[in-house]
Amino acid sequence: WQNKIEADFISSHQPELLISYNYRYIIRPDVISLMSDRIINLHISYLPWNRGAYPNVWSFLKDTPKGVTIHLIDEGLDTGDILYQEKIEFNEAKETLASSYSRLHEKIYNLFIENWEQIKNFKWNRKKQIGSGSINYVKDFERIAHLISDLNWDTPISTLKQKYNKLIEGDKRA
């Protein structure tokens, strides 16, 4: 489903559970209220780090923990209680954004499948996110997108990080 989910859709269909995965819209408060802790998000970051857009990219550029999280959706941006979570280690000299993105999606898919019985029966153990973590918006990515387009998604992450660090150092001097 790629359309915006509206309250009237929820009212007329009365789903038991909503699952957000690569959904590009922020779910509105009226929809969240109607679903009452029955919306989960499959997010390719290790929350509370890298909430928002392009979490894979930022986890490397800002050197934050990497992994995947299944969490409840609340009115914040990726701030809901954590249901399931797993860290992932990467070899940045060999890994690319494309390969790491694929690994993260495979891991979140497997985490979801492994826990589907608990998820569908609402038998999860939720925990609050600890710490402030980080958040990134599309506009943050737009500022550095040229680094990726100058290289490509198959460039080693270590090379991308070198370019990013040079950009940041240049900004500090300006």
| pLDDT tens-digit profile, the chain (174 residues) | 678 999 999 999 999 999 999 998 899 999 999 999 999 999 999 999 999 999 999 999 999 999 999 999 999 999 999 999 999 999 999 999 999 999 999 999 999 999 999 999 999 999 999 999 999 999 999 999 998 888 888 989 999 999 999 998 876 665
How far out from the chain centre does Cα 161 lie?
20
- In 3D space, the residue among 36, 35, 58 whose CA is nearest the CA of residue 48 turns out to be 58
Distance CA 63, CA 107 (A): 20
Residue type present at position 96: T
Q: Is 146 a catalytic residue?
A: no
- Core vs surface per residue 7-38: b (16+ CB within 10 A) or e: eeebeeeeeeebbbeebeeebeeebbebbeeb
Range 7-173 classified under CATH 3.40.50.170: yes
| Extents of the domains making up the chain | 7-173
Model pTM?
0.93
Burial class (CB within 10 angstroms; exposed 0-12, middle 13-18, buried 19+) of 115? middle
Of the residues 13, 43, 71, 146, only one is catalytic, namely: 43
